[in-house]
C-alpha cells in the first residue's frame, strides 16, 4: 500500500470545501462535491476527492489505493 499526503498548510485555506488532490497539488476546489467532480472529469485526471475538515475536526481515512 502506498501513502500519499499533502501538507495541512496547503489545505487549510480550503477548510470546509471539497478538493481534488493529485501529486500533492490541489486540482480543484468548491463548495459542492458535484462541482469538484465535474472539474476533475473535465481535466481527465485521477485524483483523491474529499472534504477538508475544519481545523478543530479530526478525520481518520483509510484506503487500499
Q: Over the stretch 9-38, which tens digit does the pLDDT of each residue have?
A: 888 899 999 999 998 899 999 999 999 999
64 belongs to a structural domain: no
- The model's confidence at residue 1, banded by pLDDT at 50, 70 and 90, is very low
61 belongs to a structural domain: no
Q: Quote the number of domains for the chain.
A: 1
* Cβ 55 vs Cβ 39: under 8 Å: no
pLDDT of residue 6: 79
7 belongs to a structural domain: no
In 3-state terms, what secondary structure has residue 56? coil
* pLDDT at residue 43 tops 80: yes
42 belongs to a structural domain: yes
Share of the chain above pLDDT 70, in %: 77
Domain, as residue range, for 35: 13-51
Cα(22)–Cα(31) distance, rounded to whole angstroms? Answer: 19
Amino acid at each position: 500500500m502506498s501513502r500519499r499526503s499533502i501538507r495541512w498548510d496547503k489545505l487549510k485555506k480550503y477548510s470546509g470545501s471539497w478538493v481534488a488532490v493529485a501529486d500533492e497539488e490541489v486540482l480543484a476546489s468548491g463548495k459542492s462535491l458535484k462541482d469538484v467532480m465535474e472539474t476533475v472529469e473535465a481535466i481527465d485526471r485521477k485524483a483523491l476527492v474529499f472534504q477538508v475538515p475544519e481545523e478543530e475536526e479530526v478525520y481518520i481515512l483509510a484506503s487500499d489505493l
